[in-house]
Structure 1
């Protein structure tokens, strides 16, 4: 990661606070929270004996899985990094034991433990399909950093998914196109960290068209198209996109947004209906940030405008908030 803006990690899922399962051989009865009171986070820690299959077995032994509402997968490896695939297969195989599951987040891993670009992912489609009542789904990881660890997604049909969040330093265009081809009638929040080409980010503005036209996800109220090295182009497309009229909040943060994008925003469709416009980690000049504030804040729009750092007008080098 780089940049001045602090990226807040997940702290809740489905409104439930994270609780990391203690790695005790003999947990004290009553010491654990109620199964439906927290988002259970599984972390293999640093002890090589705690492989994911052992952590998973312990979790399903000591927690009433039928009441679990949210599940978070932290570091799933011990020793050398390994792919997410085998861990996800365990989860999917036990899907029937989690009838109340409404939230699933894969790869809640801090940079100190493993950079986002190093996380070896897999096809995450089966995880969505295995839980037909799932309401929130999130993934963290990159694209083609590893030949055997690509982040992949196929178009899906899911009646209940309300929140989809894909965090990446390089989101493959194939994943973005799969989102655009999915049938998600309940979707209210979509957040895509698009990243950079160096780490597998190959999405283009054309790949965003299916959900910019406003017809694909009719209930969408929050759209985040973030962390892109082509942020000005994206903002230019969003400025005239029909989807914006139905949004309450819009995030175009974490990328390389400059004055070109700022001008597109202010000369495009009205944004005064928004509750919040997030432009944090930007490279706009003070003159343009002031114009955005003057245009929107009197209408009650909360505008987030934290710059990426000290902006040198003679320095054309820009960077996204999260890449490696």
Structure 2
């Protein structure tokens, strides 16, 4: 299920498109401004899109001091042009009110997620010490460095394959205010080589003491994750647990239910799964006070005597 539409809401606000020409539209209340400039120039490999650069500078000049939430869409053609991280960092003094940032909101028609050239997104946290929400999407040259940030509450990383180096750097970061962590682990075919062992400090509850929502999403190792979470100390202090968009099957669900109680959760999100109808019903029945999402059941593909399950997002 590739991305077929842009975000309509971000950070609790409706998303409003920034026009490439003319004044900004009049808005009623707080919004998330979305700036995007798609162009295809195969001679501009590894160079920032000049169209994006100029358009974004114009937007910052128009609205910079009042921008509280920003969604960045296509930055030229993201398979050729790298993400405008340096430009965003350089604009920090002119965006003093920015508290929420989403980098990479584009459809598969604009660029496949695995082709998106990004860079080290932790630079954004260094440049914006008051940022509270950061969501990033990418695949190629997708990096993170250990960082300290006192204000970040929500961190979401969308990928078709998230490397153990990226995950390790996140877990080495000092994020005392973090309540919501979402990692799209993806598949090994697209660089997703993170294992349950790599997540050990997180699962043991040693990282991020204020964490209340954990999303280990879009994972081809969903059954292994479920088995580990069945006894993971971190689960006891969560309010929401999210294993959606992955390849969770009956074995993983059974291990999860056989482990520590989950009745303290407010929400368990398993949508896009490979559970049988009987197992899905058993999960819901076992957790009567929990909002359990078992929508979007999938059937594995059978080929040459083998069964194949797929994450929601890969390429």
**TM > 0.5 between the two?**
yes
Cα displacement (A) at 1:113: 1.4
Query: Who is 1:94 aligned against?
Result: 91
Q: RCO higher in 1 or 2 (8 Å CA, sep ≥ 6)?
A: 1
Query: What does residue range 163-182 of structure 1 map to in structure 2 within 5 Å?
Result: 163-182=154-173
Whole-Å Cα distance in 2 between the matches of residues 60 and 290 of structure 1? 51
Per the TM alignment, residue 203 of structure 1 is displaced from its structure 2 partner at its CA by 0.6
1:89: Cα distance to partner?
0.9
Cα deviation digits, residues 166-224 of structure 1 (max 9, x gap): 00001111111111111111101100000011111111111111111223111111100
1:161 to partner: Cα distance: 0.2
Q: CA RMSD in A?
A: 2.3
Residue 213 of structure 2 is aligned with which of 192, 213, 222?
222
Structure 1 residues 59 and 287: alpha-carbon distance in aligned structure 2, compared to 1, 3 A threshold: same
- Choose the corresponding residue for 1:281, options 248, 251, 272: 272
> Post-superposition shift, 1:13?
2.8
Superposed CA deviations along residues 258-317 of structure 1, whole A, max 9, x for unmatched, are 111011111100001111111111112222212211111x2x111111244245798621
Change (3 A) 1:133 1:260: same
Corresponding pairs, count: 306
Q: What TM-score do the two structures reach when normalised by structure 2?
A: 0.90
2:33 to 28, 31, 40: 40
TM-score after normalising by structure 1: 0.88
Residue in 1 that maps onto 2:112: 115
Matches within 5 A, 1:208-287: 208-287=199-278
Match of 1:306 in 2: 295
Q: Distance in 2 between matches of 1:278 and 1:79?
A: 31
Q: Which has the higher strand share?
A: 2
* Structure 2: stretches of 5+ with no match in the other structure: 42-48
Distance in 1 between residues matched to 2:202 and 2:5, nearest whole Å? 26
Does the 8 Å CA contact 2:226/2:255 hold for their aligned counterparts? yes
Secondary structure of 2:93's partner? helix
Please name the residue that 1:146 is paired with.
Answer: none
Which consecutive unaligned segments of at least 5 residues does structure 1 have?
143-148
Contact kept in structure 1, 2:138 and 2:158, CA below 8 Å: yes
